[in-house]
Structure 1
Amino acid sequence: MTDREFDPSGERERSLGAGLFEREMGPSSSMAHLYRGEVHRMTRWRERLDRTTNWAVTVMAAILTWSFSAPGRPHYLVLVGLVTLGVFLGIEAHRYRGFDVWRSRVRLIQQNVWSHGLDPREDVDDGAWRRKLSADYHRPTLKVPFEEAVAHRLRRVYLALFSVVTAAWFIRVTSFAQSGPWPESARIGAVPGVVVTAVVVAAYLASVAVAFRPRTWYSRSELRECQVDDWRE
């Protein structure tokens, strides 16, 4: 950033967009290298999310295949698949919070640097975004609560997986039951089938509630359907 573009008083910055693609602000500038590095780290964390999802789908497919491969397979193996999906969901929610740290920085730069550079007629704001980015570099913080991260991953991937496994378990204890009619066929040891069914249904409804309950979203850069509708209009 040159003296021509920055007011030392801090009260106002001159048009950053007008000089963004000049030599001092071009692709070889420090800001461009900073942006490139943040995009790289964001991409790596995005890949970690994808790997967790791939493992969850693979394990779920293996458990369902083995459970339905013979009539005598115990139905609670499908419930083991549900518990395994819950573990993967927790891991992925944790990784999503880390991913959001880098994504929020990338979006901050895109909104306040590159968007103005592509349209030099716009003026840069009072520099609050720089102070925000500087503070985040001094002390990186997680922007998204864990419960919101769980809701994001449920909406994108895991609620569909939970629905498939829950439906498969219900089919397993009704159509393929070997120990009597449902709900007796859902028994696990000394635990009655009614109790097992109630726990499964309650767990599924809890996941739906977490995914869709009204909330204040702290992840500002998440693309949502309402934003797409606004853009189309």
Structure 2
Amino acid sequence: MTQDSPEERTQQAETDSQAAPDPLVGEGLLDEEMGPSSSMAHLYRGEIHRMKFWRERLDRTTNWAVVVISALLTWSFSSTGTPHYVILIGIATLTVFLIVEARRYRGYDIWRTRVRSLQQNVFAKGLDPSLELRNPDWRRELASDYRQPTLKITTEEAIAHRLRRIYLPLFGLLFVAWVVRITAFATDSWLATARVGAIPGTVVTLTVAAFYVAALVVAFRPRTWHARGELRFEDLRR
């Protein structure tokens, strides 16, 4: 009688595990033998740490954006001789911060997606085994993501998230400040005041208007959201 090689035994074990998935995965998770020393608990703790680290990176970008915009607004209104295009520089600077934060948000979403998968399919099941799994194939998907991590959302969706949560109010504040700067502090017509060097005021105004229309379209156009756990639905705020 021949014995199977280690490779054959490994392949057979994988086949058996795939053929007979455990319908009660997560049950007993909170029992004494599955306490804080278990590998699942360590895995979850590690993912929480990563998610927290990337969350802090997002906050740092937002904080820098607020500080820079505050300084530019203070400088812009400190003297009537300060050119209005300082605020336009603030809009461009804020756009750079938005792009940087959107890239960080895509990285943050990787870890948050894993955390939400463990919470929904393991911890929720462990707390109440009678619950039905939302995604019976979650283990295969999570294992695939550990083998080959991938970004879950597009750059546009990440930008839309950050616009809705943080940056639209900041852009709105800069827009109001710019309008006040070229109207209330103007000694000539507002179109003449909006001029930047050799660029006519009409061109500057149309460019600013086009930028804000594009930002609103990106933020509010209908789309299928792929990020998990975003507090964008009213029923989550009750």
Same fold (TM over 0.5): yes
Matched residue, 2:228: 220
Give yes or no for the alignment of 1:199 onto 2:199.
no
Q: Residue 175 of structure 2 is aligned with which of 140, 158, 166?
A: 166
Q: Shift in Å at residue 205 of structure 1?
A: 1.1
Q: Secondary structure at the match of 2:162?
A: helix
> Does the 8 Å contact 2:112/2:228 carry over to 1?
no
Contact in 2 for aligned 1:17/1:122 (Cα 8 Å) = no
The yes-or-no answer on 1:83 pairing with 2:92 is yes
Question: What SS class does the counterpart of residue 190 from structure 2 fall into?
Answer: coil
Q: Is the 8 A contact 1:12 1:126 kept in 2?
A: no
Which amino acid in the other structure matches residue 201 of structure 1? A
Give the 3-state SS of the residue equivalent to 2:150 in structure 1: coil
Q: Shift of the alpha carbon at 1:221?
A: 2.5
Report the 3-state secondary structure (helix = DSSP H, G, I; strand = E; otherwise coil) of the residue aligned with 1:8.
helix
User: Is contact 1:13-1:124 (8 Å) kept?
Assistant: no
Matches within 5 A, 1:1-233: 8=17, 10-122=19-131, 128-178=137-187, 180-228=188-236
- Return closer, same or farther for 1:173/1:120 CA change in 2, 3 Å cut-off: same
Q: Which runs of 5+ in 2 are unaligned?
A: 1-15
CA RMSD of aligned residues (A): 1.7
Counterpart Cα distance in 1 of 2:17 and 2:84: 70
Cα distance in 2 between the residues matched to 1:27 and 1:81: 49
Gaps of 5+ in 1: 1-6
Alpha-carbon offset, residue 220 of structure 1: 2.8
Deviation at 1:124, TM superposition (A): 5.2
TM-score for both structures, normalised by structure 2:
0.89
In the TM superposition, residue 24 of structure 1 has moved relative to its aligned partner by: 3.3
- C-alpha distance after superposition, 1:126-158 (max 9, x if no partner): 851111111001000000000000000000000
**Which residue identity is paired with 1:181?**
S
Paired letter, 2:140: R
Moved more, 197-206 or 38-47: 197-206
For these two proteins, the number of residue pairs brought into alignment is 223
